[in-house]
Structure 1
Amino acid sequence: MKKITLALLVGITLLTCKKNKTTSDCGDKICTEEFASIMIKFVDNKGSGIEVKDFDVINQRTGKRIMANSSISTNTTKGVFIIVDDQNKADLSEQGDDLKIMGTAVDTQQTKSVVVKVSGGKCACHIVKISGPDQVAFN
């Protein structure tokens, strides 16, 4: 009788215990140490990089401005901008978000915009460009 009571007590205790969750919501993932970034180049009608002002990236899903953290300290080639990097992945959806990239040519004051689709998400290892141009050409 004592063995049955003890077995019932142990069984009830095990059923009422909460398990400690040791894995994240993302499961067990193995990611590389690489740091991904996506760039865009603004060019003239001959394909040469040009100076651009009023550069901006807007996530069309959220309406929020995105600024790649690596672009703050990066000295890039003329006309080349980092639009998004791995530090922005939580701001992006797993299905991909349309990012509207805008800029105005300093010499002609012409403004152009393009849309680039990029995926990320809380559980993503890296951002991934899904579609969109690599450069923006001014006339």
Structure 2
Amino acid sequence: MKKIALVLLLGVALLTCKKNKTSDCGDKICTEEFASVMLKFVDNKGAGAEVKDFNVINQRTGERVTANSSISTSTIKGAFIIVDDNNKLGLSEEGDDLKITGTSVETKQTKSVVIKVRGGKCACHISKVSGQDQVTFD
């Protein structure tokens, strides 16, 4: 299932480039691809876990983060797009810590992780700096 989501996201990517010229950022050549960061919640057997009370908070700003492309993962149990290029301007160039929290519907266990993602005004795309790709409920 993870491969299907990755193929869908990569399918959106185009091979063309565009020039992004702004006075503050200088000349940049950015691809037309659309970047996103995904996190998967799994049970103790490695299967996708149903999650409630899913939340992403930017620790620098205290604001809730919602990825517009998160609808595309609703068919993959436990998989969430945390942030995408639509959130680029709300992220710092140095990277922001995003605290992701979710509660297992089955076990009622709540888990939180922190993933660092960078963006900013001059970035072509968001990029994950650090953090895990998967959260396992006991």
The normalised TM-score by structure 2 is 0.82
Unaligned runs of 5+ in 1: 1-21
1:135 matched to 2:138? The reply is: no
Query: How many angstroms apart in 1 are the aligned matches of 2:94 and 2:102?
Result: 26
Q: Deviations over 1:43-85 (max 9, x none)?
A: 0111110100010000000000000011135434100000000
Amino acid at match of 2:100: I
Larger Rg: 1
SS of structure 2 residue aligned to 1:58: strand
Shift, 1:23, TM fit: 4.2
Q: Which has the higher strand share?
A: 2
Unaligned runs of 5+ in 2: 1-20
SS of structure 1 residue aligned to 2:62: coil
Identity %: 77
Which contiguous aligned blocks of 4+ residues in structure 1 show a shift greater than 4 angstroms? none
The normalised TM-score by structure 1 is 0.81
Amino acid at match of 2:82: I
Over 3 Å counting, the alpha-carbon distance change for 1:73 and 1:48 in structure 2 is: closer
Query: How many angstroms apart in 1 are the aligned matches of 2:42 and 2:134?
Result: 7
Query: How many angstroms apart in 2 are the aligned matches of 1:85 and 1:76?
Result: 18
Q: Name the counterpart of 1:91.
A: 90
**Comparing 68-77 with 114-123, which one deviates more in the overlay?**
68-77
Alignment of 1:21-40 (within 5 A): 23-40=22-39
Query: How many angstroms apart in 2 are the aligned matches of 1:98 and 1:27?
Result: 27
Query: How many angstroms apart in 1 are the aligned matches of 2:22 and 2:95?
Result: 25
* Pairwise CA RMSD: 1.3
Q: Does the CA-based 8 Å contact 2:73-2:80 persist in structure 1?
A: no
Query: How many angstroms apart in 2 are the aligned matches of 1:115 and 1:79?
Result: 17
